[in-house]
Amino acid sequence: MIGGRRVKQAAVFRTVAVKMLVVMLVVTPAALAQQPKTPADIPVEAFAALPGFSKASISPDGDKMAYFVELDGQREVMVQHLDGSNAFRVPPPKGSNFSDYRWANNGVILFQSRMTLKRRVFRSKTQETRWFSLNLDNTEFTWLGKPKRRSDEHVSQYEHIVDMLPDDPDHILMEMDMQLDGMAEVYQVDVRSGRRAIRKGNSRGIQNWFTDNNSVVRLGNGYDGSKWVAKLKNSDGKWMNLKKTDWAKRYNVKGFSNKPNTLYVSGLSSHGTEGLFELNIDTGEIVDQVFVHDSVDLDSAFEDTATGKIKGVYYTDDYTRIKYLDKNMIPMQRGIDKALPDSINTILGHIKSRDWYFIFVASDRNPGGYYLYDRPNRKLSFVASLRAQVNPELMASVEPVNIPTRDGEEIPGYMIVPNGKEAQHLPTIVMPHGGPFGVRDTAEWDYEAQFYASRGYLVLKPNFRGSGGYGPAFEVAGYNQWGGLMQDDVTDSTNWLIKNGYSDPERICIVGNSYGGYAALMGVIKEPGLYKCAISVNGVTNLVRLKSGDKSNSIGGRSWTKRMGLKGVKDKEVSPHHRAEEVSAPVLLMSSVDDARVPWKMSRDMHKRLEKLKKESTYVKIKDGTHHMVTAQSRLAALKAAEKFLAKHLGK
């Protein structure tokens, strides 16, 4: 349980001397001699490490900077003046990890932490969020969701910022479920003291509230059992049940437009992809097309964190990109792209008081770096690398590919080719992604794929049907196809590698996390001889158990479990645990004990079952990291175990 008291600087913060605006490295001859000369020389720790400098942002007045750093194996926040003075680090509360932060005003920073807890009121482990504030004037650290009662059973499972209240920088709107009944209330919270007053009471089935551009709560949605609930306050101040409107059956609300009585909504475009449109609330008619792409979906609309207004949209072709709604940003983006060619350049923020732009630059071989553009002086300065220990010149290139499937269709994917090698007859890792629905792989730098490539393995990341981003029909095709069409797409991708001579057919391993771990295990069950080994990290080994737990313990679980499994067959028939006797190759199973999504004992139990069946199985229990392996220690443990396992079964 995290305490809610205010904590003085001596107990929380550690001072560090840092100069960060323009990084200058002095490299000695001895240091140069120690630099990796080939990808294989790069230590596994360099890939497992969390970004040394990430999510940087500048205070509204342009005087101070904050950013995530990795220190002692965990993510912390560094705060400093732009010249590097007065720097100090903020570690997360004990037992948690920082996941986000934002400037409330020039003197207060808000921090979000995540943790895995097991409370008496819940039947299983839960992933929970907390928001804290740091007052830079007196270094007081305050938990904004501190309960009024001492009992830890009356702490909201999640805390979410609804509105930053741009006209009132001393307060924010937060939603919390203080009664633990699956219904959130909205509070106005003082960012310094944590004092709060309720602004919107709970409503049956509503877990998420949204405000309009005047910071008025006007939209709510969520699950009531297995039923999706959505309600909207119209221009007359009356709450509408959106399920009773025709337009809500075709469109999903993304936010409020700056035009009166108008919403941004997403829905099907003429290309079969999901686009963004403006819709009149009173008439239910589309009044403008904001964003449509002919081959990929809108990812999301994004807001200005200071104003709460939607300022653009994210979409992903091979890389995640931005389209700005502000037409003045288009020539700015064009100029930055000209100055920084051969990379994906994203404007993260605009410091209006100085007319500075903060920019993130990345590519398939470059994990990323930050630049500051001083527009009045027309000066572009390098700030810092996301991963200073990674040399982009030694990284593998990523090639987009289209893969034919057995039913005459094609699926997209990405082939990561080891640096300095031709894609011919190579030992190979087939790496299906997690999710599985609504998630996809991209060409962007990925620590796991790049690590495997550095050890000489060709890596293929197929976006099987069920993946998101390619239109609703592509995703829906994967529903109820666990062990079916989704698995066939992965199999067809592997056979495509062999047919084209990219892979050595005697040295292919299938590797995945979460759903990808499930697909890895089903690969060596359904396709004997195709894969020489399988690695599952926090994978779904027991589909029957997962569905049962989701239905009883998760808000909305009864809804999404309807898409799990394989249509027409019992869950046991597509559950690796129940088909363990068919496993045809050595297996490495890994799981995090603080995984709140897939119980870690699933992998342990699968290992025990395989051992009883005299199958070759290795199990690695990971101390922490959560389902998403968010710590350097968990990533390092997984990569080291995988490297040893692959060397044994595929050869170096």
Q: Is the pLDDT of residue 270 over 70?
A: yes
Domain-ending residue, one of 344, 375, 395 = 395
Same domain? 419 vs 272: no
pLDDT for residue 15: 34
Q: Rounded distance, CA 383 to CA 391, Å? A: 17
147-154 contacts: CB < 8 A, separation 24 or more?
Answer: 147/4, 147/178, 152/1, 152/119, 153/119, 153/120, 153/121, 153/180, 154/178, 154/179, 154/180
- We report the CATH number of the domain holding residue 589 as 3.40.50.1820
Same domain? 266 vs 194: no
pLDDT for residue 22: 35
Range of the domain at 277: 212-325
Indicate if the alpha-carbon torsion angle 435, 439, 445, 450 is positive or negative. Answer: positive
**132 contact partners, CB below 8 Å, separation of at least 6:** 93, 110, 111, 112, 113, 141, 142, 143, 144
Same domain? 480 vs 608: yes
- As a whole number, the mean pLDDT across the chain is 87
Q: Rounded distance, CA 194 to CA 110, Å? A: 11
Residue 484 forms part of a structural domain: yes
Q: Is the pLDDT of residue 559 over 80?
A: no
How many structural domains comprise the chain? 4
**DSSP code, position 348:** E
**How confident is the model over 163-184, as pLDDT tens digits?**
999 899 999 999 988 777 778 8
Angle (CA) 366 368 374, round 5°: 130
Average pLDDT on 60-82 reads: 86
Same domain? 584 vs 446: yes
* Distance, CA of 394 to chain centre: 26
Same domain? 525 vs 560: yes
Same domain? 563 vs 620: yes
Same domain? 486 vs 582: yes
* Distance, CA of 17 to chain centre: 31
Same domain? 280 vs 358: no
- The Cα-based distances of 186 to 27, 171, 178, 361 in angstroms read 53, 13, 10, 37
Residue 262 forms part of a structural domain: yes
Average pLDDT on 179-201 reads: 89
pLDDT for residue 553: 61
Average pLDDT on 127-148 reads: 87
Residue 92 forms part of a structural domain: no
pLDDT for residue 310: 84
Q: Is the pLDDT of residue 570 over 80?
A: yes
Question: Can you give 158-175 as a three-state secondary structure string?
Answer: CEEEEECCCCCCCEEEEE
**How confident is the model over 353-385, as pLDDT tens digits?**
888 888 999 999 999 999 989 999 999 999 889
Q: Rounded distance, CA 415 to CA 418, Å? A: 10
Share of the chain above pLDDT 90, in %: 57
Same domain? 615 vs 583: yes
Residue 207 forms part of a structural domain: no
Domain-ending residue, one of 283, 302, 325 = 325
Domain-ending residue, one of 375, 395, 415 = 395
**How confident is the model over 14-32, as pLDDT tens digits?**
333 333 333 323 333 444 4
Residue 22 near residue 93 (C-beta atoms within 8 A): no
pLDDT for residue 7: 33
Same domain? 169 vs 273: no
pLDDT for residue 575: 95
Tell me which of 4-13, 150-159, 423-432, 601-610 is least confident. Answer: 4-13
Same domain? 525 vs 640: yes
Same domain? 412 vs 507: yes
User: pTM to 2 decimals?
Assistant: 0.86
pLDDT for residue 3: 31
pLDDT for residue 304: 76
Taking residue 329's Cβ as centre, other Cβ atoms within 10 Å add up to: 17
